Structure 1
Amino acid sequence: MSAGHSEAGVVERAFAAALYAGDDTALDTGASLLAADPAADAELARRGEEFLRRAWQRGWQPADVVRLVRRDLDEHHVRLVAGLITAEVRAYRQLPPRWAAQVAGLGDTDWRADRFSYATAVLELYRLLARLPAIEPVGPAPGGAPPHAAPAHGEPRMLGRIRALLAKAEATGFPEEAEALTAKAQELMARYSLDEAALAARTHSPEEPGALRIGVEAPYETARAILLDAVASANRCRAVWNEAFGFSTVVGFEPDLEVVELLYTSLLVQGTGAMTKAEAEQRAAGRKRTKTFRQSFLLAYAHRLGDRLASTSERVTAGEPSLLPVLAARDVAVTDRADRMFPETTTTRVRGATDEAGWHHGTAAADRARTDHGGAPGRGRGRLPG
């Protein structure tokens, strides 16, 4: 038997013992086999890259895999999978859009341990990877069909302005300034969307709606999902929450997807900061606040911002009546794409807020982050796709 066959045999025996069994005894048996044979390390790494390629083919992307590993395993597993992803993607001449940024943000890949501990961790990681189900793809996998158009280098000037405004809103310690900055950013987002729609109509662009996944993680994931849904709806997108795997899939045209990701991330930062400050004020006043305060705060924050974002979008759109047919056609295209991707979505009943102080503080925080320049609030946007 050749050396290569011997190494593969060790890995196969370790996998047979541990990979598809859930008990610690089987895991120890597999780890002992691997720890005793350093020559099998290269084959073990190769098999890990195979698991990743299967994950890509099943619709997963690097950020999705890392998010799940971080939730279900430990930090050293995150480092292991980051190193594995970094090695695997070297095989591709060009990564799909958004993949390069995900790979660049993987973080530290170094983890040192004795051979048995290392083999145990690798088997635990591979056991998770081997059980990943197929999910709805949001873009081509590496090595598959190329996207319709190559991604442009850099970003439009308008997105740069929006990004800068939101960064200032997150950094300022003055609520009124954050409100004005965020309001201006949302108005620019709405105008950017209109400009892109008008350009696509003039040039008869073949562009179709795309999709991206955004992490929606515990704690308070329901409130976070509602906030993302509000941001998506106000920017002509649809968001579908996958609670089991901790993400929402946002469907829309590419310019709108970009601003949804920017705004949601910024509002989450602003909301978390406001919640922390409100809790400190409650404690200083001698009132102990609990998880129900934070949950109620974030639910109120999400619901109130849904009204504000919708109002701003509607006001800006009303100023361009000639684009209404174009926008209506794009809305239909987005809905059709979302329905084809998720033909069996359900609506989740959200548990009501139970802390009155948390609700009032959350509403006030949303008012400070409002994006409608004080205009009349729009209709509520409390829909939560499931």
Structure 2
Amino acid sequence: MTSTTSSTVERAFRAALYAETDTALDTGASLLAADPAADAELARRGREFVAAAWRRGWQPADVVRIVRRELDDVHVHLASALIRAQAPDDRRRGPRWRAQLDELAEQAADTPPRTDRFTHATTVLELYRVLLRLPTLEPLEEHESTATRQPRPESRMLTRIRALLAKAEATGFPEEAEALTAKAQELSARHSIDEALLAAQAPSPDAPGACRIGVEAPYEQAKAVLLDAVATANHCRAVWNEPLGFSTVVGFEADLEAVELLHTSLLVQAMHAMTKAEAAQRAGGRKRTKTFRQSFFAAYAHRIGTRLAAAAETQVTDDLLPVLASREVAVTAHTDRMFPQTTTTRLRGVTDEAGWTQGAEAADRAQVGARPRLP
């Protein structure tokens, strides 16, 4: 790196990264486009921005999610490339982190079209603006302690659950989708119970962990309520970050996996049911409205929460209560350390009676499965 190339990058950054105007962005991009020798330094600085995001508590999937939310596909591709390029310089991470990197690697084949130097420089600066301004998040994993553990292999049970949910989402027949989802939830519940029984027989050294799950518009409030209900039913806690579009779910690893699977499945069922309800509304002469969809999803989330809570109260026998209570205390303590101040998410803006009614009916039809009673 020469002082000339460093100076080009610094001047471009001073012009573009700390100002919001298109004129400032054009000035910075022009400087970079005119100096090809600055490309390597520009990429190096990008890797530094990524490393700084990790120090502020972000993970690869979080960065990609926020870039997709704020910018365009070309920025997402660039962010993914920077993350992959920075990975060899990073300290070892846990299995969830590595899984996120693997997913980015699988998507790398889909490359954006080539552009001229000015357009590319503009894209880079727009991305760096976002990376530079990322706020600090609650860290999800420790670097040294969790990284030295052996990765947790995915069980055959989880492989079966994923396969069942994939079939449920792909089929065009509602009855088949409900049956497949019911079976998946039954296996999910058994998987969680088996983990708890193993913990009772041979206590695991593992402490609760956490993961972030995207909660995106539209209907993000109802989706956050739905995720909270699923997390609670699976012995986890969910904390919604509305401005950044995700919830942090805290719990033991097997339960976190169950939450991710069931939440995704219920979202798919909700969208299918809402599409069908809207078609019936149009056939009856009523136009599709935003208030109908909002009320539908809110009712769906509320009723699913009620069903899951009722199931959780009736499906556990006395022999498992001590270990479940111990795990719940650990999860609650971990959540309180991460989030000393939290508030309850309440549904607002429900004004369409037909949407609410049909959303509640769809939730009653949704397959959540009851946790099998323990022997």
Q: Do 2:93 and 2:146's aligned partners in 1 also have CA atoms closer than 8 Å?
A: no
Secondary structure of 1:241 counterpart = strand
- The aligned counterpart of 1:76 is 74
In the aligned structure 2, how far is the partner of 1:270 from the partner of 1:371? Answer: 10
Distance 2:265 2:201 in 1: 32
RMSD of aligned residue pairs (Cα, Å): 2.0
2:118 is aligned with 1:116: yes
* 1:367 aligned residue (360, 364, 368): 364
TM-fit CA distance, 1:97? 1.6
Residues 63-100 of structure 1 deviation map (CA, whole Å, 9 limit, x = unaligned): 11111111111221112111111211143585432223
Task: List aligned pairs for 1:41-190, cutoff 5 A.
Answer: 41-92=39-90, 94-106=92-104, 107=107, 108-140=110-142, 144-147=144-147, 149-153=149-153, 155-190=154-189
User: Counterpart in 1 of 2:31?
Assistant: 33
Once the two structures are aligned, what percentage of the paired residues are identical? 68
CA-to-aligned-CA distance 1:152-184 (integer Å, 9 cap, x gap): 33x112212222332233233333333333233
Distance change (3 Å), C-alpha of 1:156 and 1:62: same
Unaligned segments of structure 1, at least 5 residues? 376-386
| Residue in 2 that maps onto 1:8 | 6
Q: Which residue is equivalent to 2:273? A: 274
Tell me the secondary structure at the aligned position of residue 317 of structure 1.
Answer: coil
The one-letter amino acid of 2:320's match is L
The 2-side partners of 1:334 and 1:314 are apart by: 18
Verify the 8 A CA contact 1:175 1:368 in the aligned structure 2: no
**Cα offsets for 1:323-366 (capped at 9, x unmatched):** 10110011011011001100111224421421111112212221
Q: Deviations over 1:242-285 (max 9, x none)?
A: 01111000000000000100111111111111111211121122
CA offset digits 1:141-160 (Å, max 9, x no partner): 5xx5543622133x112212
The answer (yes or no) to whether the contact 1:194–1:317 under 8 Å persists in 2 is no
Q: Indicate whether 1:341 and 2:343 are aligned.
A: no
Q: How many residues were matched structurally?
A: 368
**C-alpha separation in 2, matches of 1:238 and 1:284:** 41
State the one-letter code of the partner of 1:62: P
Distance in 1, Cα, partners of 2:174 & 2:270: 11
Q: Is 1:299 aligned with 2:298?
A: yes
Q: List, as ranges, runs of 4+ consecutive aligned residues in structure 1 with deviation greater than 6 Å.
A: none
Contact 2:93–2:147 (Cα < 8 Å) also in 1: no
Give 1:111 shift.
Answer: 4.1
Q: Secondary structure at the match of 2:310?
A: helix
Hey, what does 1:249 align to over in structure 2? Answer: 248
- The normalised TM-score by structure 1 is 0.90
Q: Is the 2:231–2:249 contact (alpha carbons within 8 Å) kept by the matching residues of 1?
A: yes
Equivalent residue number for residue 239 of structure 1: 238
Cα separation, partners in 2 of 1:306 and 1:251, compared to 1, 3 Å: same
Q: Distance in 2 between matches of 1:167 and 1:23?
A: 45
Aligned residue for 1:98, secondary structure, equals helix
> Mind listing any 5+ residue stretches in structure 2 that lack a counterpart?
none
**Does the 8 Å contact 2:186/2:370 carry over to 1?**
no
Contact 2:16 2:25 in 1 (8 A): yes
Q: Look up the match of 1:18.
A: 16
